[in-house]
């Protein structure tokens, strides 16, 4: 794609701001005070998209609420990664038939990755006729225009055209209160892992201009955000489409020069594109957290090949060895899929042995979930659900024991943490995160909220550390 085809023009962006003003004036003329509810499912990229939706809604004159029953506009911002998330969305859409009956003027919208799937949008059109607006990730920047069409025509609007995707700068954002923020540095994916629907619904890789990213991070730091996560389906591919001889490691180096007290994290990082330059940059940069989420998915080379991951077990282990050699304090996490179509017990145990060899601090583990439209969904899958569950349980047993051991090693140490929230444990009323993103339940004064502080670690379990502020 040509770069000029990716960037949304300023004229088009201005046109969306005009639609926001039209909607605001429409409600003002009715002396109405509309409310909107944005319900977001799935990954951090969806969270970031939801924050843009809320920003545009405020510009349109809406007040935000968490209660769908109270809302004049309900938006379900969806995820397509797993079947369970999809079923939750359809369940919620069914429930909304009741609020629509009580308030026939209520507008119901479905957006996000699910909406971009042709089979889903077709099902919504035919079976969920109370849904007024359906749009995919590619059309998010046009949300004000699409919403205006619903109000003006009183007809259902679908914007789910198959396209490569675009980049729209300057969309208003409503961020969560606190110290954490998400920054999308790129969109889309070119990898086409055989189990994953994301490339089909989020389009091809598009990198934001580095100056736009730097400006956004600088603004966040100036406004007091202290834990900033850079987002992309594969951040290691950042810059490949910019023709600037500028990559993700270069972006981290430039962000690190921004003055202030903050941490930078990033996800997701694809092993096939992870480089020694990246790890050296992480080690050198004082603001970049010594935490790496490096999804391996499987420890068996045949399964990795069938997944279209494009690295081997040995190559992954070499990456880990080098990363740990330049960052001895590195906290390493990963994603694992058990029960991929055609996987045998021996191959699943190869994954378990890799987990034992690496010594991950934590894992995000999944039983394979077929996604229609992907290559893996068409593969023979002879293993039973019970067999896969047995393999999965073994994986959890090994990882939980490892996490408990690694956490126990923190006891007695002093860690610098960022206090980021309140706990539901009255004995440890605060929550905090270490540089490696380990959860710490904390004894301390509420005035520490939003601050970096030193903590003495006094206890641990499989999932968290416990400590006292010094």
Q: DSSP letter for 203, please.
A: -
3-state secondary structure of 456: strand
Q: What is the mean pLDDT of residues 98-109?
A: 95
Q: Kindly state the helix (H) or strand (E) to which residue 433 belongs, with its residue range.
A: strand 428-434
Alpha-carbon span 138 to 166, nearest angstrom: 7
With cut-offs at 50, 70 and 90, classify the pLDDT of residue 82. confident
pLDDT at 264 over 80: yes
- What secondary structure, in 3-state letters, does 204-223 show? CCEECCHHHHHHHHHHHHHC
Show the domains of the chain with their CATH numbers.
3-159 (3.40.50.12160), 175-289 (3.30.750.210), 414-469 (2.40.50.140)
pLDDT at 406 over 70: yes
Catalogue the long-range contacts made by 244-251 (C-beta closer than 8 Å, 24 or more residues apart): 244/210, 246/210, 247/277, 248/185, 248/278, 249/275, 249/277, 249/278, 249/280, 249/281, 250/210, 251/185, 251/210, 251/213
Alpha-carbon span 199 to 395, nearest angstrom: 28
Q: What is the mean pLDDT of residues 321-339?
A: 98
With cut-offs at 50, 70 and 90, classify the pLDDT of residue 5. confident
Strands 452-460 and 439-443: unpaired
Alpha-carbon span 222 to 421, nearest angstrom: 20
Q: Identify whether the C-beta of residue 262 lies closer than 8 Å to the C-beta of residue 226.
A: yes
pLDDT at 188 over 60: yes
Q: What is the mean pLDDT of residues 225-252?
A: 96
pLDDT at 177 over 90: no
With cut-offs at 50, 70 and 90, classify the pLDDT of residue 348. very high
Alpha-carbon span 213 to 347, nearest angstrom: 41
- Nearest CA among 250, 322, 247, 252 for reference residue 289: 252
Q: Identify whether the C-beta of residue 449 lies closer than 8 Å to the C-beta of residue 433.
A: no
Share the mean pLDDT of the chain.
Answer: 95
Q: Identify whether the C-beta of residue 53 lies closer than 8 Å to the C-beta of residue 72.
A: no
Which region among 98-102, 145-149, 278-282 has the lowest average model confidence (pLDDT)?
98-102
pLDDT at 6 over 80: yes
3-state secondary structure of 388: helix
- Residue 240 has a pLDDT of 94
Q: Identify whether the C-beta of residue 294 lies closer than 8 Å to the C-beta of residue 269.
A: yes
Sheet of 331-338: strand order equals 291-293, 331-338, 362-367
Q: What is the pLDDT of residues 448-469, one digit of tens each?
A: 999 999 999 999 999 999 999 9
Q: Identify whether the C-beta of residue 266 lies closer than 8 Å to the C-beta of residue 301.
A: no
- Provide the whole-model pTM: 0.94
pLDDT at 1 over 50: no
Q: What is the mean pLDDT of residues 103-127?
A: 95
- Residue 3 has a pLDDT of 55
Q: What is the pLDDT of residues 39-56, one digit of tens each?
A: 999 889 999 999 999 999
Q: What percent of the chain has pLDDT over 70?
A: 99
Q: Kindly state the helix (H) or strand (E) to which residue 424 belongs, with its residue range.
A: strand 414-425
Q: What is the pLDDT of residues 121-146, one digit of tens each?
A: 999 999 999 999 999 999 999 999 99
Q: What is the pLDDT of residues 376-389, one digit of tens each?
A: 999 999 999 999 99
């Amino acid at each position: 794609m040509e770069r000029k085809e990716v960037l949304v023009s300023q004229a088009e962006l201005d046109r969306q701001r005009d639609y926001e003003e039209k909607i605001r004036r429409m409600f003002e003329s009715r002396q109405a005070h509309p409310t909107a509810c944005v319900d977001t499912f799935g990954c951090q990229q969806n969270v970031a998209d939801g924050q843009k939706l809320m920003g545009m809604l405020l510009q349109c004159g809406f007040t935000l609420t968490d209660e769908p029953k109270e809302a004049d506009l309900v938006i379900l911002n969806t995820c397509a990664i797993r079947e369970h998330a999809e079923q939750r969305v359809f369940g919620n859409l069914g429930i909304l038939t009741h609020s629509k009956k009580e308030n026939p003027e209520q507008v119901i919208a479905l957006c996000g990755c699910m909406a971009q799937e042709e089979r889903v949008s077709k099902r919504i059109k035919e079976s969920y006729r109370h849904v007024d607006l359906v749009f995919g990730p590619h059309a998010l920047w046009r949300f004000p225009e699409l919403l205006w069409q619903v109000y003006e025509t009183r007809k259902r609007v679908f914007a789910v055209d198959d396209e490569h995707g675009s980049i729209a700068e300057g969309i208003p954002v409503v961020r969560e209160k606190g110290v954490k923020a998400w920054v999308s540095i790129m969109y889309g994916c070119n990898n086409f892992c055989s189990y994953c629907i994301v490339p089909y619904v989020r389009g091809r890789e598009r990198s934001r201009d580095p100056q736009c990213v730097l400006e956004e991070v600088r603004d966040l730091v100036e406004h007091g955000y202290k834990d900033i996560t850079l987002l992309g389906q594969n951040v290691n591919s950042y810059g490949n489409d910019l023709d600037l001889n500028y990559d993700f490691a270069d972006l981290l180096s430039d962000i690190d020069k921004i003055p202030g007290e903050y941490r930078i994290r990033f996800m997701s990082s694809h092993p096939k594109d992870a480089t020694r330059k990246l790890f050296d940059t992480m080690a050198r940069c004082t603001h970049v957290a010594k935490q790496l989420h490096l999804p391996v998915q499987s420890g068996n080379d045949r399964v990795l090949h069938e997944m279209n991951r494009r690295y081997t077990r040995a190559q992954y282990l070499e990456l880990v060895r080098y990363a740990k050699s330049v960052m001895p304090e590195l906290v390493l996490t990963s994603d694992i899929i058990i029960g991929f179509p055609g996987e045998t017990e021996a191959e699943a145990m190869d994954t378990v042995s890799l987990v034992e060899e690496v010594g991950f601090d934590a894992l995000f583990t999944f039983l394979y979930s077929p996604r229609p439209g992907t290559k893996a969904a068409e593969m023979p899958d002879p293993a039973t659900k019970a067999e896969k569950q047995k393999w999965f349980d073994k994986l959890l047993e090994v990882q939980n024991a490892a996490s408990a051991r690694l956490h126990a090693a923190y006891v007695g140490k002093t860690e610098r943490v960022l206090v980021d929230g309140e706990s539901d444990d009255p004995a440890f009323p605060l929550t905090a995160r270490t540089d490696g993103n380990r959860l710490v339940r904390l004894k301390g004064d509420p005035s520490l909220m939003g601050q970096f502080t030193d903590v003495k670690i006094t206890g641990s379990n499989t999932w968290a550390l416990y400590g006292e502020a010094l």
